[in-house]
Amino acid sequence: MGLPNHFDLVATDGEARTGKLTTPHGVVRTPAFMPVGTAGAMKGLHWREVRDAGADIVLGNTYHLMLRPGAERIAALGGLQAFTGWNGPMLTDSGGFQVMSLAQLRKVSESAVTFRSHIDGLSFELSPERAIELQRLLGSDIAMQLDECVRLPAERGDIERAMQLSLRWAERGKRAFETAPAGYMLFGIAQGGDVPKLRRASALGLAGIGFHGYAIGGLAVGEPQSVMLAMIEEVAPILPRDRPRYLMGVGTPEDMLEAVARGIDMFDCVMPTRNGRHGMAFTRFGQINLRNARHADDPRPLDEESLWPSTQRCSRAYLHHLVRSGETLGAMLLSEINIAYYQRLMADIRDAISQRALASFRERTRADWEKGDIPPR
Amino acid sequence: MGLPNHFDLVATDGEARTGKLTTPHGVVRTPAFMPVGTAGAMKGLHWREVRDAGADIVLGNTYHLMLRPGAERIAALGGLQAFTGWNGPMLTDSGGFQVMSLAQLRKVSESAVTFRSHIDGLSFELSPERAIELQRLLGSDIAMQLDECVRLPAERGDIERAMQLSLRWAERGKRAFETAPAGYMLFGIAQGGDVPKLRRASALGLAGIGFHGYAIGGLAVGEPQSVMLAMIEEVAPILPRDRPRYLMGVGTPEDMLEAVARGIDMFDCVMPTRNGRHGMAFTRFGQINLRNARHADDPRPLDEESLWPSTQRCSRAYLHHLVRSGETLGAMLLSEINIAYYQRLMADIRDAISQRALASFRERTRADWEKGDIPPR
């Protein structure tokens, strides 16, 4: 209880909020989208491009980093910021989610999860305490508690068991974090699947333990958007109003716009880079598939009104050619274009909230997306 | 005969020369290394990085571009410079070399080479005239004649036949180029394998036809470096002194340094980007294999005295991790580091020639390479 608060609410508009989160490596403007630099690298982007696109903070995956190159090695090399050269705020997950999705022979017990590495089959044990230790070694500005995330749909009994276990692990994580230096933060994670009552119990439990910030986990795992939004509506009002709220693993631009309107401050997702590698561009006009033959002879850029140089200048014909030819530059350009779009959307959202104009911004933005791409030439 | 000359010799030092070649899209400082942007893209680099690294000119492959997206399409989109966004000088090869190495069912006759695309099996015919037409459609500042290149070792009879055919194609290429607008250039290509007499005959024949510049082709195709240098020594003195000389497909830093000392002005090679994708860095200390475990815990950069930011800042440990993890960023950084090293070497060579100090620069540079990498930590 009573952890110091590093979050300043600057303005609100309905449930939506804009603020500043101060970390040891710099200030994060919220609502914030955190690009995912899985194993200490953003796929297809230089760190300078991530920065130029407007990202204040990025996410690293503890599971990947603990296996390779190893958290102790990164610590000896000065931490993730020095190691990667991204010298800004970093949030790391606990490793738990990827243990569930990538590791082999995993086994969850009260004390810890044991698993074998998907790279070389070596055995590891990840406890709530070790998850904190790993993230301290990495030097994360924001660490996440170890939790157990259940894929939906799932039996209510399984959801409840995992949620209760996650709450007990939250307490253990908080104790393990007590020795962390001032300024570093630990977030608790609300679980509870698609069951409103369990979601509320989880949020209440976490608020009782007390964290620097609060995440909503276990969403965007296969459920309809309406369920995700309903769960946010259950949880957000229970979480302490003065602390940042992070919706994990979300999402599409539309998901984020809707979640912001329900009080969420932070997001992360691999979608902009992953879809970029598959020839998809996120733009003001929605998602555009550059692989489509309609672009082959089209000299127009994706969006000539964009402020991002590649979006505003590269022709659709060129992007189409790069994607069809499997040229790395195609993935590089589209990943960069997508990260820049996500960051632009967040900046616009922050402005709209400051001006208490989120409702009209949301309407206008959704209308643009729904209109779809400009007609073929 | 009597084609206008766009090359200004600025200084010489022994056989070595430094100069300026003025193209419709800008000036090229020589000796020049041309990074290879195969299919309208540099693998792993943005064009801005190629420019920042110091490249004045890049090379495009007509074979790849004619198949996809097609030369007529690129012409309709404003030419290669507008299409790709590299708005500087471009040299294209004739397509002949890749027809020999990549295409299927190729057949060489007096009139043309016919082949099937390695992408979709469609049939194409490439004549000396069509090779010029394709390069005119692409908008190349410097076009290359179609030639026939024989892999070494080869029978003398085969080498001679291909050399004579290439000379006849050179004449046809020159005629086809007559309608090109002022400022655009056509280079002839000397063949003759590893046979001094045939090399001299080829160079004499080309000089008699008269081109804006002259290339030496059919080297760096498997012969020892000593043979390559001996062939340059046969050919260079015969080529018109006031015209640029381009050694095709070469090479290692050492190859280039030795070739410059024998009167070569231009180079191209995929080695800096290809080796970069395989974890190799070119540095002042020679080639360094970042995959090697000795780098895993080494916080030192590749070369702290380098003027190129990534070479000077990225730790060996980070590059090692990226290469071992198969992260795109590893290939991106090493390709950029290698292109920057090649361009730095060319800039230093130009300075050394201007100061008539190439001999001592060459000695110092070779000594650094031979000393090898800095000792492990």
pLDDT digits (tens, 9 = 90+) for B106-146: 999 999 999 999 999 999 999 999 999 999 999 999 999 99
- How confident is the model at residue B221, as a pLDDT? 87
Interchain proximity A327–B41, CB inside 8 Å: yes
State the sign of the Cα–Cα–Cα–Cα dihedral B128, B131, B133, B135.
Answer: negative
pLDDT in tens, B48-100: 999 999 999 999 999 999 999 999 999 999 999 999 999 999 999 999 899 88
Gap between the Cα atoms of A215 and A136, Å rounded: 19
Our answer to whether residue B93 is catalytic in this structure is yes
Mutate to test the interface with B, among A321, A322, A339, A377 (most CBs of B within 10 A): A321
**What is the radius of gyration, based on Cα positions, of chain A?**
20
Of B56, B194, B255, B268, which one is the catalytic site residue?
B268
Whether the pLDDT of residue B1 is over 60: the answer is no
Report CB contact under 8 Å: A40, B85: no
When the pLDDT of each residue in chain A is averaged and rounded to a whole number, the result is: 96
Helix (H) or strand (E) holding A30: strand A26-30
Interface contact A321-B46, CB threshold 8 A: no
Interface test with B, best of A87, A324, A329, A339 (most B CBs within 10 A): A329
pLDDT band at A224 (very low <50, low <70, confident <90, very high): very high
Q: How much is the pLDDT for B193?
A: 96
pLDDT at A311: 97
- A361-374 per-position pLDDT tens digit: 999 999 999 999 99
For the stretch A166-223, pLDDT in tens is 999 999 999 999 999 999 999 999 999 999 999 999 999 999 999 999 999 999 988 9
pLDDT band at B349 (very low <50, low <70, confident <90, very high): very high
Look at B184-188, B218-222, B349-353 and tell me which has the smallest mean pLDDT.
B218-222
The pLDDT score that the predictor gives to residue A104 is 83
ipTM of the assembly? 0.97
Q: B317: which chain A residues are within 8 Å (Cβ-Cβ)?
A: 69, 73, 77, 83
| A284-295: pLDDT as tens digits | 999 999 999 999
Residue A26 phi, psi dihedral angles, 5° rounding? 135, 175
Q: What is the pLDDT of residue A46?
A: 97
Spot the catalytic one: B13, B56, B93, B147: B93
pLDDT at A1: 53
pLDDT digits (tens, 9 = 90+) for B153-211: 999 999 999 999 999 999 999 999 999 999 999 999 999 999 999 999 999 999 999 99
| pLDDT mean over A264-291 | 97
Distance (Å, rounded) from C-alpha A246 to C-alpha B34? 48
Strand partners, A90: A58
* CB nearest B299 (choices: A77, A84, A296): A77
Q: What is the pLDDT of residue A101?
A: 86
CB contact under 8 A, B325 and A39: yes
Q: Which of A76, A299, A325 sits opposite B39 (nearest CB)?
A: A325
* Three-class SS of A6-28: CEEEEEEECCEEEEEEEECCEEE
Q: Is the pLDDT of residue B105 over 90?
A: no
Q: How far apart are CA B260 and CA B130, in angstroms?
A: 32
Specify whether A93 is catalytic. yes
Summarised one tens digit per residue, pLDDT across range B328-343 is: 999 999 999 999 999 9
CB burial string B339-365: b at 16+ within 10 A, e below: bbbbbbbbeebbebbeeeebeebbeeb
> Would the CB atoms of A299 and B78 count as touching at under 8 Å?
yes
**Nearest CB to B76: which of A45, A297, A331?**
A297
Q: Which of B82, B95, B190 is CA-nearest to residue B139?
A: B82
Of A44, A68, A314, the CB nearest to B321: A68
